[in-house]
Amino acid sequence: MKLHRRTFLHLAAGATALPLATRFALAEDYPTRPVRVVVGFPASNASDIVARLTGQWLSERLGQPFVMENRPGAGGNIGTEVVVNAAPDGYTLLSLSPSVATNATLYDNLNFNFLRDIAPIAGVARAPYILVVNPSLPPKTVPEFIAYAKANPGKLDMASAGNGSLSHMCGELFKTMAGVDMVHVPYRGSFVPDLLGGQVQVVFSPISQSIGYIKDGKLRALAVTTATRQALLPDIPALAEFVPGYEAGGWYGMGAPRNTPADIVDKLNKEINAALTDPKMITALADLGAIPMPTTAAEFGKFLAAETEKWGKVIRAANIKPG
């Protein structure tokens, strides 16, 4: 049978539009079954808690369970690889934290390229860190601390949660930008007892881990690591006020396997951003020392690329290896 040209073009246009219409229909109905959210760290880790808060909101808004699946190991790489190899259909998501940005340089021979293989969905929260010292240390301000460290090179012990941890990264960035020499002391367990006892004198700590000790006078806060002061601790200056350009800290977000349909990514992005305006969510994040981090998917992608580049430079300059 011979088709008239007009009829052929009409049918061809319809065939071209069909996949697009199907994609929109899929996004409109999504999700139709439970969604798993892979967390590369143990339960009760901060990234796990933020992921659960986000998942609870999405479950209530979208009518399907968002189920946490903890896959700890290799600094979060095991969980990331699970998601990289999952079907790009919106039913497997990845809880994101700074480890994905640092691991890109920290680990050799990864089986994936994070920036290529994970599609950014949305930022969820920022979690400022604090430069804290044992109160027995003479300095009471950042300028005094820098001067003291320069006058006593290699005599200050800087604790961290381990080689390549964010507390380590924040410290190495400070050492480079402030021009000071401190001895890194990595811990596999908690560094808090030794910090309180004075065996180590300095740490870049998550707010949630140190705020109680600061209020009790057992630790002294010198500065927050964000570029500006934080509403959570308005009286504590930002480190950038004394070390121009310094900015670091924790953050959390969501990603998915690359090639996940853009309309599903957009739907999740809008719902997560809606969550970040909810007073209950804002309060829950504040309890963790975190603040909302609303972004578009594109903005979050640029942020991830910038974090990966920044920490890559620090890791190479300090020759940091995994702990």
Give the span between the Cα atoms of 67 and 236, in whole angstroms: 38
Cβ atoms of 58 and 93 within 8 Å: the answer is: no
Count of Cβ atoms closer than 10 Å to residue 93 Cβ: 28
Q: Does domain 34-127+250-318 have CATH number 3.40.50.300?
A: no
Cβ atoms of 128 and 268 within 8 Å: the answer is: no
Q: What are the CA-CA distances from residue 267 to residues 188, 195, 279, 297, 322 (Å)? A: 39, 45, 21, 10, 37
Domain ranges of the chain: 34-127+250-318, 129-241
Average pLDDT over residues 24-29: 65
Average pLDDT over residues 230-257: 93
**Binning pLDDT at 50, 70 and 90, where does residue 181 land?**
very high
Global pTM reads 0.87
Tens-digit pLDDT profile for residues 245-291: 999 999 999 999 999 999 999 999 999 999 999 999 999 999 888 99
Instruction: Indicate the average pLDDT of the chain.
Output: 91
Name which of 31, 114, 35 is nearest 68 in CA terms. 35
Q: Do domains 34-127+250-318 and 129-241 have the same CATH topology?
A: yes
CATH of 129-241, picked from 3.40.50.300, 3.40.190.10, 2.60.40.10, 3.40.50.10860, is 3.40.190.10
Per the document, the length of the chain is 323
Average pLDDT over residues 198-208: 94
**Binning pLDDT at 50, 70 and 90, where does residue 4 land?**
low
Cβ atoms of 314 and 172 within 8 Å: the answer is: yes
Cβ atoms of 140 and 219 within 8 Å: the answer is: no
DSSP designation for 189: S
